[in-house]
Amino acid sequence: MARIRLDGITKRYGSVTALQRLDLDIRDREFMVFLGPSGCGKTTTLNIIAGLEEISDGDIWFDDRRVTFIPPHQREIAMVFQSYALYPQKSVYENIAFGLRLRKVDEATIDAKVRAAASQLEIEHLLDRKPQQLSGGQRQRVALGRALVRQPTVFLMDEPLSNLDAALRVSMRALIKKLHIAMGTTFVYVTHDQAEALTLADRITVMRDGVVQQLDTPDAIYNRPANRFVAGFLGSPQMNFVEGEIAEGPDGPAFARGALRIPVDPAVAAGQGGRKVVLGLRAEDAVIAEGGPLKGQVALISPLGSEQHVHVATGDSELVVRAPKDQRVALGETIALAFDPARLHLFDAANDQRLGPQT
């Protein structure tokens, strides 16, 4: 249990700057997810919280304790890795007990804690096995157990589910969420999987090239992305982007591209005539409907069982929209798209920042 504060953290590897003056305030008992593509600095940040990487500048605080120069083994952290990182020479039991043995906890307490954790994770029958006899999902449960038996200040997870298959990933996600509720500890979770981030997080930090792009609740990040990168990184299929400009018209401001005119929220775009912008439209925010303002030809249909993704060619760009599975569309057919102007996103073409209110 702790609030974690990163204060102006800079990390340089030789001449490469991995993190540039990073400020971050992780609340006590919060489930914080670091989300970003590989190389964005999210694992580096996690390692810095753990004390596994030295920092070039800045300070780290656990509550009121400055831990900048405290070595990892004195920070009372627990960590789970993508590779599981189980001690291969030790049994499952000893893997879980190891952290307690290092702290000279008495044998009876160790046994009780290990068995309690094992039953919580449903791995009691595996306690005598060696890691190489376990499947990936079982190994990750052992790794969770190793962290669970201790009372860590903070629970750090480095892409723990990335090596598991899709079905297992979903069930482990639920397990981790339950663990967070049961443990009442601060969780910091690194992932590049936006679905994981959206399901697990209390708040998400989206990072790119060592810089925080947006830090907010999953809902805010999904519905009001701060910039084009965040907008594109979250959501599946990816948000559609169309470049154009703001045109002032008799009916208020509109997004204009060639002959195309799409009315936009006056609160965002009023008085901005001529400004180069990028329009963002999520696939689920458009519907195929007679008389919609945007017309195009169906270029591709991807059925997904529960729904279908329809690729629509409009002029020189192609949009992907989500349609109910029973909606009948045909390849080459001309269809019209309708959408709620309030659900459109506008980004400045020059700096990719969101136009209008940020939060």
Partner 1 sequence: MSVEPVTGMASDGGRSAMMWRRGLRALIITVFSLLLVIYVAGPVAWLVSSSLQSESDITAVPPNWLPPKVTFDNFEAIFAPPKREVTYETRRQGDPATGRFLPSGAENLLPSLWNSFAVGMAVAILNLVVSMTAAYAIAVIHFKGRRAALYTILVTRVIPDIALIVPLFLVMRQLDLVNTRFALVVTYLAVTVPFTIFILISYFEQIPRDLYRAARADGCSHWQALRFVYLPLSLPALVASVMFAFLTSWNEFIFALILTQNITSQTLPIIISGFVMDFTTSFSFINAAGVIAIVPPVVLAMMFERYIVSGLTAGAVKG
Interface with partner 1 (CB under 8 A): 47, 50-52, 71-73, 76-79, 81-89, 98-99, 102-103, 130-134, 136, 139, 143, 146-147, 150, 156, 163
CB of 77 to partner 1, least distance (A): 5
Give me the helix-helix angle, 136-148 and 166-183, nearest 10°: 10
Q: For partner 1, give the closer residue by CB, 143 or 262.
A: 143
Q: For partner 1, give the closer residue by CB, 73 or 276.
A: 73
Q: For partner 1, give the closer residue by CB, 146 or 228.
A: 146
Strands 154-158 and 77-81: parallel
CB of 171 to partner 1, least distance (A): 18
CB of 13 to partner 1, least distance (A): 10
The answer to whether the CB of 178 falls within 8 A of the CB of 185 is no
CB of 150 to partner 1, least distance (A): 8
CB of 235 to partner 1, least distance (A): 29
As a whole number of angstroms, the distance between CA 69 and CA 198 comes to 33
As a whole number of angstroms, the distance between CA 141 and CA 93 comes to 12
Q: For partner 1, give the closer residue by CB, 101 or 325.
A: 101
**Neighbouring-strand partners of residue 65:** 62
With tokens 């629970």, the residue in question is: 155
CB of 158 to partner 1, least distance (A): 8
Q: For partner 1, give the closer residue by CB, 61 or 81.
A: 81
CB of 185 to partner 1, least distance (A): 14
Q: For partner 1, give the closer residue by CB, 67 or 230.
A: 67
H-only helix segments in the chain: 42-50, 92-102, 107-121, 136-148, 166-183, 194-200, 218-223, 228-233, 266-269
As a whole number of angstroms, the distance between CA 35 and CA 204 comes to 7
Q: For partner 1, give the closer residue by CB, 43 or 213.
A: 43
Q: For partner 1, give the closer residue by CB, 129 or 224.
A: 129
As a whole number of angstroms, the distance between CA 269 and CA 242 comes to 16
CA angle 8, 13, 19 (to 5 degrees): 30
CB of 54 to partner 1, least distance (A): 8
The strand ranges marked E within the chain are 4-13, 16-26, 31-35, 57-62, 65-66, 77-81, 154-158, 186-191, 203-208, 211-216, 240-249, 252-257, 260-263, 276-281, 286-288, 294-303, 307-314, 317-324, 334-339, 345-348
